[in-house]
A and B are shown apart, each in its own frame.
Chain A
């Protein structure tokens, strides 16, 4: 049966578009979460018809399939389970159309996030345009993956997450048909339901995204605080003052020191916490917000103030924020990155609990996160060769999730649920809520072959068999 499946699959794709060697299966059995599963094969369609052919072949042979972008997901969303077929979208990497007048672009799902912004920055007058969602992985993550995860990023505080920037999607449905999900056509916003569905409602083959004008003026500020508490309260005060900065990011002392070692940017390494704040737009608004933000930071006892003097310094400060995850390799070889959201007013209390939880488990944590959104990213660093450490990391991660929910927060702000957090879903949702979500999924994919066993805990997964890979967590 396997051979017949593979030969049927290959018959509708370009030569060499199907691979099933041991090496290929090793390469594609996990995403960046490190959660690994098992796959039957991986295929590389060149176009939308190829994707539809792959889906239809899976339907015919009753084989589950998993769409894969760049594999940068952190929750196991692209990890294949149950010997699924991995449908890699890396060859669908064309920017199909850019319309500057109406500020949109049509792209294929394999286009890399930053590649689109680089392309559109050079387009049009007034400094060009960009694709607003900017996850830290934007140099390597794909726009199709952003759509599947409803990705965020530092600048989503002002601009909103991916869903706010996707105008329409052409998808291959669970029935193996093309559907054009236009948020303004039809009686229900299927586009909105599809974005963030983690590959369980079909596969995007063309995406219409909105383009955001590059701001003519930007002010980037870095404040040091003697306590994490002061920094967190400053965040709330800035928002309460009626401003929504373009970005509002926080790093704690451990993180700042690791980053400073890495990039040598003269960061305030003695501060307990550092806030990176950016405001952008037209000249007078930027100056107005910058002055008020500095004033609020001083009211919250900031110990240092630095304002980027030029674009080079701004890029240096952002490099510190965006390379934080790379910098931790100087401390420990492994890390586990959590992702929860809490109300901004709960940030000081939840951060205290994070430190307490991690210390109690004998671990080390660095906090680098989207403070303006209340989007925590505790980064537990460890050496997996240490006996029993994985269990402690696992336990600490679970406690952090529970602490966030108890504070009125949610399970994930931008990484998604995938395999990693599906068993936590009942912390937020009751049986009827989960069944309603399963109903949504089944409407797009009645067979349940599109990326099964993700997001929804059993038994809400409409018949998906629970299948956590053995030993899976980190």
Chain B
């Protein structure tokens, strides 16, 4: 097995990067897709891996289109800084790369109001396990031209292909973002809060306290807080869900898990737990489809082979 390591590039040269990525994928038995390494992926007993990294850099940002095309290896901080210059943002959580956040596929806690991460990806070019460079989607927000390969890439943890560059939908920054916290001890009270608010950005509950994020015009936020959230107080800090195990359950089941060790995203069913919780598994027919997809896009299982998933066995 030949081992190569691509260095991250400061200036984007897509042609060179593409050739390099395709060469690495085609010539190695096992290839790990790596961003900034903020989510460790290789276990210690794995053989020394061959890494592949995506290109970096903002390729095209048109504020009036509310889209940005960016190398998948671009650090999130770089993208955030670029978009902020036009008062826009993309809600990709984490501290790594754009491609890493998409491949991981986990929403931030604001998905209730800001929408799902998976709907952010409009188009992508990726190199699959066969070494094919594939164009998926397009550069416009609305697009139903053919099958939606982009949806498969989000959350795929790199097992179908290495994202090279992506087109993302951006959003305008809300005029105001404020967090509030209050004592809420029962699921009925949680429901009362949930149904009384128009469109909260985030709702979290730990069985004793509830955190609410409201976004929009400052006067609307103030009004919603004063009229709909009696007993809630403003807070400067949002709940810290980093370093917790994250599982998505049926929203009703999730509420029952709320505790001092389990913070629940109300309405979304996401549980952030100190201890591991078993994830629901896809059914047999779905796993069959996933196995076929893996066999089509990466028949030799070269990409991130250390990961175990529905395609395995």
Given A244-B171, A410-B138: A429 in contact with B146 (beta carbons within 8 A): yes
Given A164-B115, A282-B217: A436 in contact with B172 (beta carbons within 8 A): no
Q: Is the CB of A181 within 8 A of B286?
A: yes
- A391 part of interface (Cβ distance < 8 Å): no
- A38 part of interface (Cβ distance < 8 Å): no
- A413 part of interface (Cβ distance < 8 Å): yes
Q: Is the CB of A341 within 8 A of B142?
A: yes
Q: Is the CB of A179 within 8 A of B283?
A: yes
Give a binary string over B124-151; 1 marks a CB under 8 Å from any A CB, 0 the rest.
0000100011111011111111111111
A181 to B289, CA, bound (A): 10
Interface centre among A100, A184, A244, A417 (most CB of B within 10 A): A184
Partner of B296, one of A189, A283, A442: A442
Q: Is the CB of B148 within 8 A of A193?
A: yes
Q: Is the CB of A446 within 8 A of B310?
A: no
Q: Is the CB of A189 within 8 A of B142?
A: no
| Interface of chain B residues 166 through 207 with chain A (CB within 8 A) | 171-173, 175, 191, 194-196, 198-199
Interface residues in B, total, Cβ within 8 A:
80
A188 to B291, CA, bound (A): 10
Choose, from A53-61, A222-230, A342-350, the stretch at the interface.
A342-350
Q: Is the CB of B143 within 8 A of A242?
A: no
- B66 part of interface (Cβ distance < 8 Å): yes
| B175: chain A residues within 8 A (beta carbon) | 285, 288
- A310 part of interface (Cβ distance < 8 Å): no
Q: Is the CB of B66 within 8 A of A186?
A: no
| B284: chain A residues within 8 A (beta carbon) | 177
Q: Is the CB of B248 within 8 A of A184?
A: yes
Give the residue name and chain of the A residue nearest to B218 (CB).
Answer: A284
Q: Is the CB of B289 within 8 A of A442?
A: no
Partner of A425, one of B87, B142, B146, B289: B146
Give the residue name and chain of the B residue nearest to A162 (CB).
Answer: B144
- B309 part of interface (Cβ distance < 8 Å): yes
Q: Is the CB of B143 within 8 A of A192?
A: no
Q: Is the CB of A444 within 8 A of B289?
A: yes
Q: Is the CB of B248 within 8 A of A185?
A: yes
A236 to B196, CA, bound (A): 35
- A125 part of interface (Cβ distance < 8 Å): yes
- A121 part of interface (Cβ distance < 8 Å): no
Interface residues in A, total, Cβ within 8 A:
96
Q: Is the CB of B155 within 8 A of A188?
A: yes
A395 to B160, CA, bound (A): 39
| A193: chain B residues within 8 A (beta carbon) | 147-149, 151-152
- A308 part of interface (Cβ distance < 8 Å): no
A430 to B115, CA, bound (A): 31
Q: Closest Cβ of chain A: how far from B202's Cβ, in Å?
A: 14
A258 to B163, CA, bound (A): 48
| B88: chain A residues within 8 A (beta carbon) | 242
| B224: chain A residues within 8 A (beta carbon) | 282
Give a binary string over A142-182; 1 marks a CB under 8 Å from any B CB, 0 the rest.
00000001101000100011011000000001010111111
Partner of A344, one of B64, B128, B251, B297: B64
A-B contact pairs, 13 of them (CB 8 A): A163-B151, A188-B293, A192-B152, A237-B64, A281-B220, A341-B140, A373-B142, A374-B141, A410-B140, A414-B144, A433-B134, A442-B292, A455-B146
Closest 5 CB pairs of A and B: A192-B151, A186-B282, A179-B285, A443-B292, A240-B64
